[in-house]
Structure 1
Amino acid sequence: MTVESLIKNENKQRKQAIKKLNSYLTNPGRFSILVIGLRGTGKAHWLSELQKLQNKPSLNLNSITFINALNANMFAEEDWIKTFKNTNNGLLVISDIEELTKKNQAVLFEGISTGEGGKFGFKEKEYAIRIAFTTTKSISSLRDSETYLTHKFFDRICQFAVKFPSYHRGDRNIWQDFKKTWKKMCFKEYNSLPGEAFKEWLENGNIILHGNFRDLDKLAINWHNYRLQEDIDEENILELVKSDFNDFYRFPEHNVNLKREFEISEDINWNDNLDNFKEAYTRFIKERYGSLKQGAKKAGISYRTMERWANGKGKKKEE
């Protein structure tokens, strides 16, 4: 199988992300990559699929190991050394990197600084591994302040970046994705796909799937289970699935915590604190609404004003 055949049914945006990710995995250089995307957009899935496809000793892709950054906060240097040793000649994926504490970022930084031949390690650079980091945060919230990552650590892990699209906007290709979910769940052995009304509901854009593929899984499971109940008419299933999804199963919206993005500093004056807040607010608006222009409309502030704030020019006279 080739990459092209693997992704032939994916939409344009996802194809671009997968090809970019594949170029990292097959690159002879050894550097760190940051894989960005909301929950359920396929970050771990495509890392796994491409590792299986490109399983070659020369590429350091003999295996794939996933570690959640929150769990890794208990690691000391010797734990990282053991992890590197166990992953040697393979791909190490550290997920939700924004959860790694500043203390552990400092420890790991030493290990992901490459030595001769592109090898990783601490006292000795001896491990031939590839390292990928994943995050659900926006690049601006990771890069533009040290709320989550220190600037030094961010610079080290983001030598190459790939962003996976969500169902919030763009060409969704959502019905094709639902059919893949239906096949994955093996429901086709018992039930045919939902009918045209369900397809139209998915494709019309009125439903927002903050969980992306995870929400598609839940929709498939619920439709399948309602259809197995003989006392429920087919035409009523869609309304039941809609109601249950909204009441119980939908993934929560990816909110930005503005309190965490901004903190008043006693070391600077009022104007500098205000400028820092303006920059934090523009990051919050951009991540909340997808673009600064759309966010400016929702916030009732002119786009040019917010653009100045985003560029650190909040001290200029407002319009």
Structure 2
Amino acid sequence: MTLTVRPRRLRATRAIRELAAETRLHPRDLVLPMFVREGISQPNAIASMPGVMQHTIDSLRAAATEAAAAGIGGVMLFGIPAERDAQGSQADDPAGILNVATRAVVEEVGDALVVQTDLCLDEFTNHGHCGVLAPSTDGGPAEVDNDATLERYRAMALAQAEAGSQVLGLSGMMDGQVAAVRSTLDAAGHTDTALLAYSAKYASAFYGPFREAVDSQLTGDRRGYQMDPANRREGLLEAELDIAEGADVVMVKPAMSYLDVLADVAAASSVPVWAYQVSGEAAMIEAAAAQGWIDRRRAIEESVLSIKRAGADVVLSYFATEIAGWIR
């Protein structure tokens, strides 16, 4: 046979495979989600998320220092308060756990990586929803009041910016949340605080372990505001709306089950596109690896590489620090 095209030539050795690689992982392209819990004296292991902890302030500082030393791009902080109410009052309290933790991490590593915070009410409410509830007009269950929730987000944004957060992660999926928060921050002089819009955030089954991580009080579900997994075009629409409202970065979440949506958004977006490898996606890898069914390191690397290949500029992953160590 006379073959003029032999793609295997560029697969023959490790060196040539690496030279011909179309997609690469770099530590700066990774963000580590981290949990901090009020009222605990030592870190708590999260059973459904091996290796992930609910941190104290001190252990959070230490883990953030480790992440910075590994060279990752940033950390995303989630707070778990000791007390919750219907309005999520602790969320915008300067003495609330997330704002206290933000100041601590900024002080510790703020010059080495980007300190980011989750801007959503679900961890702070006693009903576990991402917004303020209003009675249903038809006598059914209470529903999230979009516009009343925006007022709470405005207050949270100010508190988080004043605590030193450099990027606010708007994850509540309320209509108009980017515009509301941007106008509030700008009016208060926080024009340099960036907004990460969780634009295409789906009502996914893969958030299960996260609910344990934040001790979620959720009753019912979030299908009334998070996106239907059946919809692809709507993901791009949400991203376009958020960009028009002033988002500095847009997000697709989850990542691995929505690579088509991620590719659509990446192809059209005029701003950076990030993706979140969520708790359930990470937990499945850990569970299969624990059974000896897959090679853990290869599966982690392949999963994050696939998210990058689909178009993500940055990946939020619970494996971020570990991956960075492997790369370096």
TM, length-normalised to structure 2: 0.27
Q: Considering only CA atoms, is the larger Rg found in Structure 1 or Structure 2?
A: 1
TM, length-normalised to structure 1: 0.28
More helix by percentage? 1
